[in-house]
Amino acid sequence: MPVIYEPRGKAREYSPLALNLYMGCTHKCVYCYAPTCIKRNNNMYFQKPYPRKGIIENLKKELSRDKPTSQVLLSFIGDPYGDTYDNNEVTRQALEILHQFKTPVAILTKGGRKCLKDIEAYRSFDDHIQIGATLTFDNNNDSLKWEPGAAMPDDRLETLKTLHDEGIRTFASFEPVINPVQSLNLIRKSLEFIDVYKIGKINNFQGLDKTIEWKEFLLEALNILRPAGKQVYIKHDLRKAAADVKLYENEVLPDEHNVTWT
């Protein structure tokens, strides 16, 4: 099975290709889908992860045979900048290999400033890389309740600002949306340093999605983002939940805001 693969279903909206470097995660997000996805219970999954066996060697071999031209996301399973046994060394090695083979990369992390250790590697990609964070809550109390092992909200925001100030393309993932008021507040707070916004909802979690007025949320988000000239992607489930909200074509194409390397 190839280490770079095409994600399916909802995951495909994030990127045409993906690469998972670690199995497991210490963020312990209450809403995490990964344990179910890879058929592990929470106790097995929410542990300090090792790199996947042979991941760097297999990545080299794979890229030597067939270099992808589409964006590769790090990652859907685990976090490339989580609390790992190798202190994210495999992430750095993978970046060096992906750069060597001119492969465009997107990184999604809740690790906050941990990713800044690789800022020189990001710079080497020029405009062929984008770094993003999942933004969920605007205060530490809620963040600790729902994402106890992840970086705090201000840490994530400050990290994205640092990256943007360094000329590195940034994106924010608003999925899940658990508290719409807080999500809207985070959008307002981040306008100066986020290039791309990917906005979804929360699905099938303790009935929470049934308590939220998704049309109202989406309209307010667009009222903030459109005048600011931001690049926006509205995920399918949110579009479905707010079906009568009119969207532009560039707000509904999942690959519209990917990085490339041609």
Q: Going from the N-terminus, what domains does the chain have, and what CATH number goes with each?
A: 14-251 (3.80.30.30)
Structure confidence at residue 142 as a pLDDT band (50, 70, 90): very high
Which tens digit of pLDDT belongs to each residue from 231-240? 999 999 999 9
From residue 143, alpha-carbon distances to 31, 41, 76, 102, 149 in Å are: 12, 22, 20, 36, 9
Long-range CB pairs of 137-145 (<8 Å, 24+ gap) are 137/178, 137/179, 137/182, 137/186, 138/182, 138/185, 138/186, 138/189, 139/182, 142/178, 142/179, 142/182, 145/30
DSSP string, 40-60: --HHHHSSPPPBPTTHHHHHH
pLDDT reading at 192 higher than 70: yes
pLDDT reading at 128 higher than 80: yes
Q: For CA atoms 200, 203, 209, 213, give the dihedral sign.
A: positive
Helix, strand, or coil here: 5?
A: strand
What pLDDT is stored for residue 42 in this prediction?
Answer: 64
Across the chain, mean pLDDT equals: 95
